[in-house]
Every structure is written in structure tokens, then in C-alpha cells.
Amino acid sequence: MIKAILIFNNHGKPRLIRFYEYFAEDVQQQIIRETFHLVSKRDDNVCNFLEGGSLIGGSDYKLIYRHYATLYFVFCVDSSESELGILDLIQVFVETLDKCFENVCELDLIFHMDKGGFSAAPARAVSAVKNINLPEMPRNINIGDINIKVPSLSPF
Amino acid sequence: MALKIVKGSIDRMFDKNLQDLVRGIRNHKEDEAKYISTCIDEIKQELKQDNIAVKANAVCKLTYLQMLGYDVSWAAFNIVEVMSSSKFTYKRIGYLAASQCFHESTDVIMLTTNQIRKDLSSPNQYDTGVALTGLSCFVTPDLARDLANDIMTLMSHTKPYIRKKAVLIMYKVFLKYPESLRPAFPRLKEKLEDPDPGVQSAAVNVICELARRNPKNYLSLAPLFFKLMTSSTNNWVLIKIIKLFGALTPLEPRLGKKLIEPLTNLIHSTSAMSLLYECVNTVIAVLISLSSGMPNHSASIQLCVQKLRILIEDSDQNLKYLGLLAMSKILKTHPKSVQSHKDLILQCLDDKDESIRLRALDLLYGMVSKKNLMEIVKKLMLHVDKAEGTTYRDELLTKIIDICSQSNYQYITNFEWYISILVELTRLEGTRHGHLIASQMLDVAIRVKAIRAFAVAQMATLLDNAHLLTGNTQRNGICEVLYAAAWICGEFSEHLEEPMATLEAMLRPKVATLPGHIQAVYVQNAAKLFATVLRGQEGVPADSTVAQETSQLLIDRLPLFVQSSNLEVQERASCILQLVKYIQKLQQKDVEVAEEVTALFAGELNPVAPKAQKKVPVPEGLDLDVWINEPPSGSESEDEGRKSKGKAVFAKEESRHTKPRYTEVDEKELAKRREVRKAEQANNPFYIKASPSSQKVYQDGVGVEHIPVVQIDLSVPLKVPGMPMSDQYVKLEEERRERNKADKKKKKDKKKREKGEKGRRRRGDSGPESEEDITPAHMVDIVTEEMPENALPSDDDDKDPNDPHKALNIDLDKPLADSEKKLPVRSHRPDEVLKSPMEDRQVVEVVPEPKKKTGKEKKDRKKSKEKKKKHKQEEEGDLMGAGSEEPVQPEETKEVAAPPPASTPEASDLDFWLSNAPVPSNPQAAAAPASTPRTASGMAAVAPDSEPEEAKDTEPEETKSSTHKKKKQKKEKEKKKKKHHHNHSDGAGDESVQNGTVEEEEPLPPMSNYALLAENSYIKMMKQDADKVCDIQGNLQDGSQVVVSVIFENKCDSFIKSMEFNVLDSLNSKLQRPDGAGPHDGLIVPFQLPPGISNEARFIFSVQNIVMPQKLKGTLTFIVKTDDSSTHEKLDFKLHFTCTSYLITTPCYSDAYSKLLESGDLKGCSLKLEGVNQPFHHLLARICFHHHFSVVERIDSCASMYSRSIQGHHMCLLVKTADQTVSIDAKCDEPGLLGNVLDEIKLTFSQC
């Protein structure tokens, strides 16, 4: 299960936060800070899995993240999720955003928060994605021979 | 008013919207907090306005602020307001805000129940969707309980969009309200085969999530999932299912055998890395669950390891990471196959990515053997020196200790080496794991007797060089090892070569800078050392001066500790100081004291197992919860009294210096006293001075501050002089092994089978065989830890009692009992049970308008139960009218209503599936065995007489045709199986068929309780007299009631309205009218009928006497409205109340049933029906359906049935059939009623 979806920028400013379990506001901010701290000091060429976010869950939980231009997309999931699957999911999510807002930039996420009922978007993307057959998605990064099309995120 | 609205909308133009807020925050980077607080003030103003648009805008902004970490719970009520807006755009904002900030302790959540229910049943699917999405985030136990039924209904919604969401949210409902799991599960299971892939995948997700926590309850679903796995092409679903199988295989090894083949196929065929990886993972789980000795699986292991190697060698760091992760799972059972990849793993230790290095470390843990332990640890020590970050270095340190200490030091052949490794580790600067090293030192020294001499020597050196460890007292994690060192030196001081020197080292003034608990150990062990020194010296009479010098040393040094601020240190020090002073006196008199002093520390300490304390059994007759002394009765008030007393004490203390008559104290006095006080404080060593100048407290000049603290740069590991390096041991070990080998060759024939038998308690089974010929360097006795007698070793106490999934550990194979068929309701609204008929009708009235239908879930449930009995066609009409009520498909009803014949057939299905024949060679063929049990049931359905029980499966027809060919092929096998099934179920039949309505073997011919009431060119009335009575609890009242449902169908093309329903009351039966209405007034039917539409209304009648059937005359008046005119019309009808309609379907257990018959209060009557050529189960179904009976017990072609009237009459039937003749023996305590019911039964059968 996905426990939380955090999107923040290179400075740790939250851009879209969704917890699927209740945490008080200050705890949420602490989680965001800690996650940012963990994620931001990692090189771009290391693996995208992180264990040891101590605030959410325990050993069963992993942080799976991707870094696009100025944004970090972090999913906190437990062991019932496939790690590579979640990476694909993030990719699809970003592409969905790209499609919805044409050339996604950080500010789309805040400006259109009301427009798309935005915080619900991750959940929608999940359900949408789960209808798609994985092999049919041409940008699937876990199928080696096809190029990744990373949406061009203009730096703000 | 209009002006106000206009004004409002103009105001709004100047309101900030979310964009403005975001922009504003960006523009106020310096004073963001201030800006936001003004914004919040504005929002508060906006929320006070009546305009919902303004409120929604405000709530939207609040949601953004909530994300930034501001608490917005104060606006919870406003959020609820926005949620209840009828406009979707606002509603969505409301639900979004709620899902972001509502939680279980938000009290306004209680207010939302009805709103959410309304939205759930909204005709607009997006309203429903947004409500479901929101609810999933803030569902509470109360909400779950109240809404479970509504959500369950939505699971069969026509739109897949809604179905999918409803299925997903059921998981949250189960978590909050575990009682709902069993009733909802059959439907959830159905969704696994939903035509929409999204819904299907949602169901798979929910079941996988449930099964992950309590896998054994879901074993029976394995065949279904197997079918899905072999047929599905959706990788997301496949991944989930494959993961689920990974959780199931440990419980059922046979399942694993079945899985290996298709999984290997998938591994070979798939191109998706994620799927490949999950397959490998599950194959590993299967291999773990299977006994490892199976030869034909070594190929699978090889395949896995080979694939994982590809992953690890990949340039993608993610794959590398996962490969290592999976590798560590193989390691546990097949260490050999992993060990051949040691090179690869050691290479990963040098990877730049920390996560990967950590994974590789995990792998090392399992790869060590006696042979390579030293080598690997040496490599790790190199890494320790190189590691830059402290976290990784700490991780390395713990791993080294883990690796060495695993399974009771199994792989350590040379403990001297291990001790020196530990000593080397103490030189790590700033590690957090000092206590870990310390506990290892203690553990080894205590448990390995042979090593004590060496350990003591090492520890003595450590103590001597303590200044190196404590160099930087700020980060003194490492000084914990001194604790161990001091203790070991003291406890095993007989091994010390120079106890005097060590004693001196332990009493250095610098020790006073160590943490208190370490100082305490120092002091205590100094005393032990003292005892040793005394004993050593007294043997040599000439040297008595040395003993006296030692005493003097202690007397000189201990006062430093006596002044310690740590209580423990102080106490021990002063105690020992006095003791030594006394000993010194005796020494001066030349008295031998060594014996007595040593006796103080006699006896040996044994290690105690960590769980020992917990395992000490509570002695019989000891109740730990009982008060030892009764608590004082007035504790509360006394506490207060004490508090106030305390205050008084403080007050007094404060005024102590100013004396009682403080009013008269003049300035001079005060100044004088201040002087005195200052002097007093200066002399008081416990008074903390404000100024740094008066820091020097201790007069003796051994103050801590005077010792120069030299900061030592420890970037280069220090070589402590005189300490052997661990590397030496590696060389020594190699030499020794060489020698050993040579020795061995000589005695080869003798020693071959002999293992290192010296005292090793544990011999690892998984360890590589080859290491057995390495004998430990020392004779090692590893003392096992002590446990209290008769304590059982178990690990069961590790489970988290707060795990919400614990409550979901529910047996799902057990058939649903009658009481469970609907969702259980906690009786939180007991008043509803005894509702007046008036209110009842109001509920009925709102049926057509779904949004009014709130808060009365009880009634709804009643309705839905009735509905289950209706015929499908009727239900479709019903659906249009009733709107929110979801039709329950007949098949479904049957499945729910019919008690699945216990879990036995299902379990045997699984057995059959699992034990079935050879593993199919391709996925297509694999599907065949999955469906064979179903084939069997299909056949059984054709011949119901011979195989009645098996046929309970849900869709026999479908599978029957599709698997026809295969069926033939497998017939032989199945025949045998079937016999088994038959016997089995017959045996179980007695208990399993009890207490349900009837079990259906095949789809029954459509049955309807609706009868045409009256019809004309305008309208058609169908009626059903429902068996529901207001009182379902059993204390029946005199004024029992009968509910009559009437379906009105508009048959013309005009609008029908103002329908009025009226019945001429008889003495016996009266229509329940609203208060104040006269006995001849009609009841207004609460809806209008557009052309072609039908709707249902219910009317309640109170009945006095139920023995006789009766007929009531009535009329329906209505207005037919056409475009230009409207006409009054009238329709007469006759309501026929049969005796059957007074019966309530009541389940009865066979034991209660037999008691009832034994009582002899019942009078009998019998009936014979000739020429009935229906199957017996049809017959029973008919009786159950039309006459409201339930089957108590059924054996072959004989069944006992039970029903109860609304006035509490018991009615029992014994139905037998033989060659088209059905005989019914009936008993009832009211013969008149019985006769009439029998007549009606006869009528029913004569009609068909």
C-alpha cells in the first residue's frame, strides 16, 4: 500500500502532499523535512530506493523517489508494492501531469490545485495506471530497449 | 435580498483566490509567516459569510495552507458546510479539504454521516466518486459501521468507475469495522471476475492486502488466483497475485510445487523487469517453503541466482539494489548457491551508493563460514578505516559484530582474534555503538571461559590507555567500552598479571570525567581488584608493605569519587572508602584480612537469557493485579491536601530568612542578611554559583579542570602500544590451519567423521560442510544463557497487539450464519426498533427520493432483505423506483442465502486442486486443473440426486460447457474424486445443511411473491405482503403489523399524480394511518408516476387475529394528467391477506427444534400432494419462498422446516418425497392457522 505521496522542490518546499494515514500537521512537516533531508543528499546516479525514513512505518516501509528537474516525487510504500512498479507509477504520474498541464512546471502543481481537485490526482493516476497493461506502455522504463521520455520540466 | 447578492458577488471579485494566495506567499519571502497570518484572518472573515462560493474559496486556500503545515482544524465545520454544497465544484473542494485534515478525533465527522450517505447514493457518479475518495481518507469506525451497507451496494454499481472505488474503500472499512468482512467477502470475491479490468485489479489489490496479513484465511482462494495468474496479461495484477502467492506458499508447500512451473515460464517470457523480479522473489519463497533437498529444484535456484546476477551486474543502480535484496532471501536457505557469487558481492561493497553497500553487507552476513570469516572481517575493517560518513561506519561496525556473533559465535574459531577485533573497533572516533562493543566484550568474556585470561589482559591495556578513548568527552559513545573493561578486569582479576597497575589506572583522577554509571563500575571493581591484590600479597609475608600501600592508594583516591554528583558513585565510593579504612587499621595490626575481603566478591555470575525475566512463571495463588494494601479511600482529596500543604511548606521556606515579623525588617538588616547568605552559599559546595570566578570548589587540588585535556586527532587509527593487532591472528590462523591439515592427513582415517565436539552446543545445519574440518584454536566453552525452569522457548510474544489487521483474522470459509448475511449493526439506535408506524411510513415515503432517504439504514436493510426474495424482473422495475436500492441478483442472493455446505467441500476442492496430477506444462493447460473442481460441480448439477452438495458452486453452467472436452479426459480421475466428495459431503450433510433457508443446486425457476392486485388501462398494481413486522427482536406485541408493498406501474402515456390509497378497515385488520386522520381517509401515495415508470410504496396494516385469511376491499384514486386536461380515475382492488403472510422466516437450530417438538404443545395435521414432479430442492425452495419457512435440517429426500407467526406461533413441517408424492406433516400450537397455511401450500403446488 502507498502510505504517502510527497512532492517537494529542490529546497524542500512542499508542492503536493498526500498522506493516506493520519498525521498531525507538525508531524507531517517533520516527515517532509526528514524525507527531503534523506533524498536531497543523494546523487542522481544512485538507486531510487531508500530505507529508514523513521517517521512513517518501520522496516516494512521504503521511500521510492524520482527527481525531475526541480521536483522530487517521493512515494512511501510498504512491502506489498513492487519497487519497480512504483517507479513506473511515478513516471506515469509525471507524464499524466505533463499531459494535463502541458509542460509541467513546479507552479502548475500549486496554481491548479483547485482546478483538478489536485490532491486527488495521485489516486486517480494510480487507478488509471492500473488499467493500463504494463508492456503496452511505451515509456516503461523497466523494459530495457525503449527510451525514456522524460517530460521537459522547465526550471523555475 | 437581491441587492445583498449583488453586493456579495462584487465583494467576491476583490477576494483573494488560491492563485493570489500562492503569488502572495512567493512575494513575501521575508515575512511569510506574517503574511499568512493576515491571510488566515481574511479567510476567517470569508468563512463567516453566507455565500457558499466565498466559503469554498476560503476552504480551498486553507487546504493549501494545511499543506504548508498550518493547523486548519478550527475550520472543520466550514469544511463540512462546503462538503454539503450541492454544486460539484464546491463539494469537491470540501471533500479534498476533509481528506487532508479530518481524522478519527475530528468531532464534526459525526455530522457528515448523512451527507456522505446522500452523496454515495447520488445519481451523479462524480458525486459518489468524490465521496468515496474522501471517505477513504477519514473513515472512522462509526462511519464504517454506518456506511458499510451503502458501500457494499455500490460494489455492484453499474458504472465501473464507482465499483472500483467502492471495492478499494472496502479495505479501509474492514480495517475500521472488522465485523463487515465476512458478510462483504462473497461480493468482494465476485469482483475478482468483474468484466472491467480496473475493478478486477482493485479487488485483487484489496484481497492481496488482506491476505498479506492473515494469509491462511485466504488459502481457499488459491485456485481462483491461479486461474487469474495464468490468464491475466495485466502486469500490475500479475505482480500483486504473484506477491500474494509468495505469502501463501509457506502455508501450503503443495501450492509451491504447482507454482514453480508457470512462474519459471513467466521468468523466461516476460520482458518487464518488475514482473521478472517479483517472479524470482516468489520462486525464492516457494523454494524456501519446500524442503531444500529436492533435486529437481536446483535448476530453479540456479535460474533465480543467474537472473539475479544479471540484475546485480546491471548498470542501473535500482536493479542492482533489488538483485542484492532478493539474493539475501536465497541466502537463508541456499547459502551455497550464493556463496559462489562472493566476488560480485564484495565488489558491491565498494559501490559509491550507500544503499547498495548496505545491501551487500546484509549478504555478507550469511556468506561467512569458519574458513572465510577472518578474511571477510579483515576486508570490512579496511572499509571501516576508509568510510567517511559516520552512519555508514556505524553500520559497518554493527555488521561486523553481527557477523561474528551470529548463531552463538558459530563461525569464530579463534576468540583471541575476536577480542582484538573488538579492541580495534574501540578506536573508532565518535561511534554511537560503544555499548554494543561493550556488551560483546562482556558476553564473550563471561561465556567463553578459555578466553578470560586473554580478555583481561586486553582490557587492562584498554584501561591503561583510557585517555585515548575519552579524548573527546563530548561524543563519548565509545567510552562505554571502559564500562566493560573495568568490569571484566575486576570480575576476573585472578587472571591479571599486574593487578596493582590496573588498580592504579582505574583510580586516576581523569576517571571522574566519565559518565556516572561507568564511574560506579570503576569504584566497585577497584574494590574487587583490591581484594585480589591483598590475597596476592599476603602469601608473601615480606611484602606486606605493598598491601598497605594499596590500601593507602585507595584511601587517597576514593575521596574524589565520594564527592561525585552521581548518587551511585558517591554511595559506592563512601562505602568502600570506609571498608578500606577499616582494613588498613587491621593491616597495621598485622591481621590477615585477604580471606574476608575476597569473600565479599565470591561466587560466579552466569549469563541470563534476555527473555528470562518474562518467562518466570507467576507462582500459584499470586494475583499481581490485587492491591497489596487497600488504597486509601479519599486519595483524591488527600492528594489535594498534600499539595496545599506542600505549598505551605514552600511558602514558609521562602520566608524563613525574613523571620515572622517581616514587616518590621529594615534595609540595614536586609543587607546584613544578604551578606550572611552569600557567605553561607560560598561555603556550601552544593550551591551552584552564578559567577564563573567561584568555580574552584574542591580544596584538595585534584580538581578536574586542572588536568590538561589534549585533543587528539584520530584520523589515523592509533596503534595502542602492546596490543596485538587482529591481522596477526589472520596470519597465525593460516599457519595453524596448515599445521592442522598436515596433522589431519596423518590421522585422516580416524578423525574424518569427528567434528569439533568440544563443547559446541550449536552446530549450524545450514553451514557449509567443508568448514567442519576446521577445529577451533581454543577449547571453547560457550555457556548458554540461563532460563527459568519450565519456561518454554517461544517467540510468540513479539507480535504487535495494536496491529489493526489482528481483528481481520477471520475465517472466511465458514458458511455465513443467517444472522450474518447482512452487515451486523451495533444497536446504537435502539429507539428505532420500536418506532411508531407513523414514522415507519415516513421512511417508506421517501423511498423514491434518494436524497431524503437518510439516516434510516435500519429500514433500508429491512427492505433489502425483502428484496432478496423478489424476482429479478420485479427488481428491475423496483430499481427504477427505489433508486438507490441496488438490485441483488438472484444468483447472488442464492449464494448469500444458501449456506455453503460448510468449509469441508471447499477445503477438499483446494486439496483436490493441489493434489491434482502432474504440473501442467504451459499456462493454458494450467488453467485446466484450476477449473476442474468446477467441472465436477457442473456434472453434479446434472444429476442433483447423486451429488447434491458439490453443486454449490456459483456458475456451474459456464464452466460446464467450456471445459467439456477436458472433462472427458479427466473423467476417470474425477470419478474417484467424486465418490470421495460424495461420501464426504454426505457425512457433513447433517451439520452443514442446518439452519438455512434452502440450498440451491441449480438456478430455480423464477419465483415471485408479487401478485397482480388490480389493473386497468392506466395503472397496474402488484402487491406483495411482506413478512416484515416492526418487531424483529422477538417480544411480539398484540398489535402485530403486516407491511404490504405495492408496485404501481403507469401503463398509459400520461402523468399520474395525487394517488390516494384507501382500504375499508375490517374489525380484524386496519390500515395504519397518520395521527389525526379519520378511519376512512385514504393515504396519499408519496410519489407521482411519469409514463411507463413504476414505483413501490408500502402500507402498514395492524392485524388482530391471524388465524384466518382475510380479504380487504380498497380503492386507489388518482389523477391522470395529460397535456391539456386532467381526469380523476379510480381503481378498486381486493387485498388478500393469506395466513402465510403472517409467518416470518425465522431460522431455527435443530436442537431447539427438537426441544420444541418434544414439548408436546403442538397439534399435528398432515397433507399429501400427488403428482408433484419437481425436484425435491425446488419443492423446498418453493415452500421457503412462498410460505416463509426455513429449512432446519435436510437428509436426502426428507426435510424439516420451521417458521413462526408474527404472534409467536411455532410452526413445524416435515416434508418427505417419494415418487411424485409429497407428504407434509405439520405441527403448530394454533390448529386453525396450521390448517389454513396447509391449504395455502396445497394451493401453491396445485398452481404449478
Contact B423, B385 (CB under 8 A): no
The distance of A43 to chain B (nearest Cα, Å) reads: 8
Element (H, E) at B674: helix B667-683
B425: which 3 cell numbers? 573497533
Of B136, B198, B356, the CB nearest to A130: B198
Using the beta-carbon criterion (under 8 Å), do B271 and A22 form an inter-chain contact?
Answer: no
| Residues of B in Cβ contact (< 8 Å) with A127 | 164-165, 168, 198, 202
For residues B420 and B425, give the distance between their C-alpha atoms in angstroms, rounded to a whole number. 8
Long-range contacts of B341-346 (CB under 8 A, 24+ apart): B341/B305, B341/B309, B341/B312, B342/B367, B342/B372, B344/B309, B344/B312, B344/B313, B346/B379
Fill in the DSSP letter of residue B802. T
Under a CB-based contact definition with an 8 Å cutoff, are residues B161 and B126 in contact? no
H/E segment holding residue B1095: strand B1094-1103
Of B68, B322, B355, the CB nearest to A14: B68
Only one residue has cell 511548606, namely: B649
Contact across the interface for B272 and A140, Cβ inside 8 Å: yes
A143/B66 Cβ within 8 A: no
Q: Is there a contact between B413 and B768 (Cβ–Cβ < 8 Å)?
A: no
Model pTM greater than 0.80? Answer: no
**B1143 within 8 A of B1201, measured Cβ to Cβ:** no
User: B515: how many CB neighbours lie within 10 A of its CB?
Assistant: 16
Closest approach of B323 to chain A, Cα-based (Å): 12
Res B855: pLDDT: 41
Residue A59 contacts B where some CB pair is shorter than 8 Å = no
3-state secondary structure B1106-1153: CCCCEEEEEEEEEEEECCCCEEEEEEEEEEEECHHHHEECCCCCHHHH
Determine the 3-state secondary structure of B119 from DSSP: helix
- Judging contacts by C-beta atoms under 8 Å, the chain A residues touching residue B106 are none
**Per-window interface: B 73-132 vs A, CB < 8 A:** 92-93, 96, 99-101, 103-104, 130
**DSSP label at residue B105:** T
Q: What percent of chain B has pLDDT over 70?
A: 64
DSSP state of B330: H
Q: What is the mean pLDDT of each run of 10 residues along chain B (1248 residues)?
A: 55 69 84 89 88 89 87 89 89 88 86 89 88 88 90 89 89 89 89 86 87 84 87 82 86 82 85 85 81 64 84 85 86 78 82 82 79 83 76 82 82 85 79 82 85 87 76 63 87 83 84 83 88 77 73 87 87 90 85 80 75 77 79 54 42 40 53 66 50 39 41 39 56 67 55 41 40 49 59 48 66 63 48 39 39 42 45 42 40 40 49 54 40 38 39 40 44 43 40 38 50 66 47 41 76 79 78 73 77 75 78 82 78 80 75 72 77 78 80 76 81 78 80 83 77
B1074 phi/psi in degrees, rounded to 5: -65, 155
Give the chain A residue nearest B208 (alpha carbons).
A80
If you count residue pairs, one on A and one on B, with CB atoms under 8 Å apart, how many are there?
135
Burial class from Cβ neighbours inside 10 Å (0-12, 13-18, 19+) for residue B965 reads exposed
CB contact at 8 A, B1187 and B1244: yes
- Of the CA atoms within 13 Å of residue B301, those in its CB half-sphere come to 23
Q: Are B277 and A133 a contacting pair at CB < 8 A?
A: no
Cα B633 vs. chain centroid, distance in angstroms? 42
A83 to chain B: nearest residue by CA?
A: B274
CB B1236 within 8 A of CB B1187: no
Query: Is A84–B67 a contact, with Cβ atoms under 8 angstroms apart?
Result: no
How many C-alpha atoms does B929 have within 13 Å on its Cβ side?
23
Decide: B1044 and B1023 in contact? Cβ < 8 Å. yes
Nearest by CB: B198 against A45, A48, A131: A131
What local confidence, expressed as pLDDT, does residue B909 receive? Answer: 58
List of chain A residues whose C-beta atoms are within 8 Å of the C-beta of residue B138:
22
Helix then strand then coil, % of chain B, to nearest 5: 60, 10, 30
Asked if B1214 and B1200 touch (Cβ cutoff 8 Å), the reply is yes
Residues in chain A within 8 Å Cβ distance of B318: 47-49, 83-84, 87
Question: What residues of A are in contact with residue B68 (Cβ under 8 Å)?
Answer: 14
Interface probe for A, chosen from B99, B236, B241, B802 (most Cβ of A below 10 Å), is B236
Select from B100, B198, B321 the Cβ nearest to the Cβ of A119: B100
Q: Report the chain B residue with the minimal C-alpha distance to residue A29.
A: B69
Chain B residues closer than 8 Å to A143 by CB: 271-273
Residues of chain A with pLDDT under 50: 114-156
Quote the crossing angle between the two packed helices B222-231 and B235-248, to the nearest 10°: 150
Selection from B318, B175, B476 nearest residue A45 by Cα: B318
| A50–chain B Cβ distance below 8 A for any pair | yes
Query: Which residue is associated with the grid cell 486553507?
Result: B62
CA dihedral B535, B538, B542, B548 (to 10 degrees): 70
CB pair distance less than 8 Å for A25 and B71: yes
CB A28 within 8 A of CB A39: no
Q: Does B610 touch chain A (CB under 8 A)?
A: no
Alpha carbon of B1056: minimum distance to chain A alpha carbons (Å) = 42
State how far Cα B24 lies from the chain centre. Answer: 44
Residue in the block written with cell 548498470: B315
Put simply, the chain A residues between 70 and 109 with a CB less than 8 A from any chain B CB are 80, 82-85, 87-88, 107
> For residue B165, which residues of chain A lie inside 8 Å, CB to CB?
127
Q: Which of A116, A34, A117, A109 is closest to A76 using CA atoms? A: A34
Task: Pick B278's closest partner by Cβ from A28, A82, A135.
Answer: A82
The predicted complex's ipTM stands at 0.78
**Sign, Cα dihedral of B1076, B1077, B1079, B1085:** negative
Q: How many whole angstroms separate alpha carbon B857 and alpha carbon B726?
A: 75
Q: What is the distance between the terminal CA atoms of chain A, rounded to a whole angstrom?
A: 33
The whole-angstrom separation of Cα B914 and Cα B509 is 75
Across the interface, whether the CB atoms of A133 and B233 are under 8 A apart is answered yes
Which residues from chain B sit within 8 angstroms of residue A45, using beta carbons?
A: 317
Hey, is B812 helix, strand or coil?
A: coil
Distance (Å, whole) CA B297 – CA B295: 5
Asked whether the beta carbons of residue B353 and residue A47 sit closer than 8 angstroms, the reply is yes
Whether A142 and B274 lie within 8 Å, measured CB to CB: yes
Q: Looking at B426-562, list the stretches that DSSP marks H as alpha helix, in order from N- to C-terminal side.
A: 434-447, 452-464, 466-469, 480-491, 499-506, 516-538, 544-562
Closest-CA distance of chain B to residue A104, Å: 17
Question: From B88, which residue of chain A is nearest by alpha-carbon distance?
Answer: A117
Query: Three-state SS for A41?
Result: coil
The Cα B402–Cα B409 span in angstroms is: 9
Query: SS3 string of B206-272?
Result: HHHHHHHHCHHHHHHHHHHHHHHHHHCCCHHHHHHHHHHHHHHHHHCHHHHHHHHHHHHHHHHHCCC
Write the residue in B100, B236, B353 that is nearest to A46 by C-beta: B353
List the single residue in A with minimal CA-CA distance to B200.
A131
- Which residue from B709, B723, B712, B722 is spatially nearest to B425, judged by alpha carbons? B723
What is the rounded end-to-end Cα distance, in angstroms, of chain B? Answer: 68
Distance from CA of A66 to the nearest CA of B (A): 11
Cα separation of B3 and B5, whole Å? 5
Quote the minimal CA–CA distance from A122 to chain B in Å: 11
A38 to chain B, minimum CA–CA distance in Å? 12
pLDDT of residue B476: 60
Q: Is A45 on the interface with B (CB under 8 A)?
A: yes
Q: Does A38 touch chain B (CB under 8 A)?
A: no
CA-closest candidate to residue B164, choices B136, B144, B145, B137: B136
List B residues 222-281 in contact with A (Cβ-Cβ < 8 A).
233-237, 239-240, 243, 271-275, 277-278
Position B291 scores a pLDDT of 59
Q: Taking CA atoms, what residue in B is nearest to A138?
A: B272
Torsion of CA B607, B613, B614, B617, to 10 degrees: 110
Q: Give the residue carrying C-alpha cell 412462498.
A: B1186
